Amino acid sequence: MPAPEVLPPEPLGPQHQLDAFRNGRHPSLDEWLRGRAQLSEGLSARTYVICAALAANVVVGYYAISTAAAHRAALPSAKLRKGAPQEVPLLLIGRLAIDAAFQGRGLGAALLADALRRCAAASTIAGVRGVLVHAIDDEAAGFYQHFGFRRAPPLGERTLLLPVEMLREAIAASEA
């Protein structure tokens, strides 16, 4: 993580304090973290959090990863559709958010990079064609596009997709 004021990402656990988290823009992101994240943990999603370094269990950012599928015909490129089963396996990065007090420090980009590294690792264990995000608004869509995600209108108005091949290439280039 780029900021020394936060600890590295870790899986959400019962020790984490969620009540103070406020992203400042979309209450649904706060509500999901407090009301659904622990209920979903390990069953339908895996949530990773970053905590304030000076308050070790106070969550200041998070994202969730889950599995997803899309109908082959809805994929935005012939390359993704070629040889794919009817229901194409994907990974979904959901609900990436940073507490308002910690925004503007590159933590969103750092959390996304962590999520993408985990998705790339998972793609070597179980076959997936790409990583999906459902951007909460147009600004979020622009954020994901900056990191190589492409709009996938057949899948949803603000749904974006990063093909797993592009993800692996980007990670290999960053490690070279």
Q: Which residues are catalytic, by number?
A: 144
Distance of CA 26 to CAs 40, 58, 120, Å?
20, 19, 28
Distance of CA 59 to CAs 21, 96, 165, 167, Å?
7, 13, 32, 27
Distance of CA 140 to CAs 47, 97, 168, Å?
19, 10, 23
Do 12 and 49 form a contact (C-beta atoms < 8 A)?
Answer: yes
Distance of CA 125 to CAs 61, 100, 151, Å?
27, 35, 26
Do 67 and 22 form a contact (C-beta atoms < 8 A)?
Answer: no
d(Cα 32, Cα 158) in Å, to the nearest integer? Answer: 19
d(Cα 55, Cα 71) in Å, to the nearest integer? Answer: 44
